[in-house]
Amino acid sequence: MAEGFKLTGKEIRYISLFESTSGATVIDCIDSGEVMVFVIKKGDIRKVFRGSRNNLKRFSQMVKRKVKVVEHSDDPAVFIRNAFSPATITDLRVTEKPDGTKIAVVAVLAKDKGLAIGREGRTVGLIRTLARRHYNIDQVVVH
């Protein structure tokens, strides 16, 4: 796992609020302006969606933004698969080029390609940032 990324004071406050609202343990947070992405501890995904009051929906209404939650994994391929959810991934390979750069190539169903890439590439851009922060993966490509 890569180390050394920094969180802003605002992201730290959002992490605290999200943890107290959901009960999940947050590992990382990205505030992209219109979407907030939280990486949570493996196994905590149930806490976010438990009960009749969906904690994710409640938190999203509190901060007045879309919120995406990604469950962490020690395996970079599983982590990337989690990050692309709910898009259906048909194939995913993480390889290292001879020059040492790591690349993740993700194949998604044709009907989910727009969902995986996002408007103006925002979704895949956020996933690239997460992959770089946590696994030193330099590029994420969607086919």
pLDDT at residue 58, rounded to an integer: 85
pLDDT at residue 117, rounded to an integer: 96
> Is residue 37 within 8 Å of residue 74, measured between CB atoms?
no
- Above 90 in pLDDT, residue 80? yes
- Confidence label for 53 from pLDDT (cuts 50, 70 and 90): low
pLDDT in tens, 84-99: 999 999 999 999 999 9
pTM of the model: 0.91
pLDDT in tens, 106-141: 999 999 999 999 999 999 999 999 999 999 999 999
pLDDT at residue 52, rounded to an integer: 53
C-alpha dist (Å) from residue 118 to 31, 113, 114, 122: 16, 8, 6, 5
pLDDT at residue 14, rounded to an integer: 96
Helix (H, G, I), strand (E, B) or coil at 49: helix
CA-to-CA distance for 84 and 28, rounded, in angstroms?
16
- Above 90 in pLDDT, residue 3? no
The residue among 98, 113, 118 whose CA lies nearest residue 143 is 113
Helix (H) or strand (E) holding 117: helix 113-117
pLDDT in tens, 11-35: 999 999 999 989 999 999 999 988 9
- Above 60 in pLDDT, residue 2? no
The burial class, CB within 10 Å (0-12 / 13-18 / 19+), for 70 is buried
What does the angle CA 125 – CA 127 – CA 130 come to, to the nearest 5 degrees? Answer: 115
Q: Which residue has the higher pLDDT, 55 or 31?
A: 31
